[in-house]
Copies of this chain bind each other. A is one copy, B any other.
């Protein structure tokens, strides 16, 4: 499965009084990367939610190496899960400004059905990932 990359530009409202991006904002960017990664697999997260599935975050971890600043153009790399045989699966991320790694981390997820019950990753999801 291939690595996925998306880009974004830092918003003024994402900075704080230290003059850098507030550490909580990066988790929002990871979510954007997940949505765009799913779209790149022809999976529409909005439609999935409409069908009763959700993929909540059950753990989120980021290590901050270098700050991001207002108006920076950043690259977010998402590394797909290598193991989908369990209920939990892990996505890894790198956030870079050109060749500088700003943050790296991971999120752990599960699938919930429309009753908010934990389920195995559904077949259509596994098939789309394998197809990559």
Chain A residues near B (Cβ < 8 Å): 11-13, 15-20, 22-25, 27-28, 31-32, 35, 44-46, 49, 54, 56-65, 69-71
CA distance A18 to B28 in the complex (A): 15
Given contacts A16-B17, A60-B61, A64-B58, contact A31 B46 (CB under 8 A): no
Chain A binding surface, main DSSP class: mixed
Contact A17-B64, Cβ < 8 Å, known A25-B24, A27-B27, A32-B11: no
A12 CB contact (under 8 Å) in B16, B65, B69, B70: B16
When the two chains form their complex, are residues B58 and A63 in contact, meaning their CB atoms are under 8 A apart?
A: yes
Q: How far is the CA of A51 from the CA of B48 in the complex (A)?
A: 27
Given contacts A16-B12, A32-B11, A71-B35, contact A23 B63 (CB under 8 A): no
Q: Is the CB of B46 within 8 A of A70?
A: yes
A59 touches B58 (CB 8 A): no
